[in-house]
Amino acid sequence: MALVLAGCAPQVSSPIGTWRAAGEDTGTLTVNEDGSFAMRGASFNPIDDRDADGDFSGYGTWDAYPDQPEIVLRFSEASQGDHRVQPSSPSSDFRSGVMRFTDPDETVGIEFRIEDY
């Protein structure tokens, strides 16, 4: 993964790598070169846009397009605790080295930061 400096903020050119939840958030998002991803132990459910108390997990495939700064996570399976969650495809800008998923009102959410690149 290439890291480009733009001003003082690093710019990430690819989402591939390990992303860890920041601050009081919990969870890990692993974005693999083969087009797959896995989210584990997340404190926010990005499909239903709600708090998850650290028990949201899911996996699927991802897409990113050169002309857009977003990654699209296409969940093929997801669960919150013992309950299955209907899959969907949330997206987030990743190029600043930070991914944020929030509810529509931006009152709850999760922030992941790139750990390795």
CATH of the domain at 53: 2.40.128
Does 107 have pLDDT greater than 80? yes
pLDDT value of residue 105: 95
Mean pLDDT, to the nearest integer, of 95-100?
A: 95
CB 47 within 8 A of CB 31: no
- Residue 77, pLDDT > 50, answer yes
- For the question of whether the overall pTM of this predicted structure is more than 0.85, the answer is yes
Element (H, E) at 45: strand 36-45
Q: Find out whether 93 and 101 touch, Cβ atoms under 8 Å.
A: no
The total number of structural domains that make up the chain:
1
Q: Domain limits at 93? A: 3-114
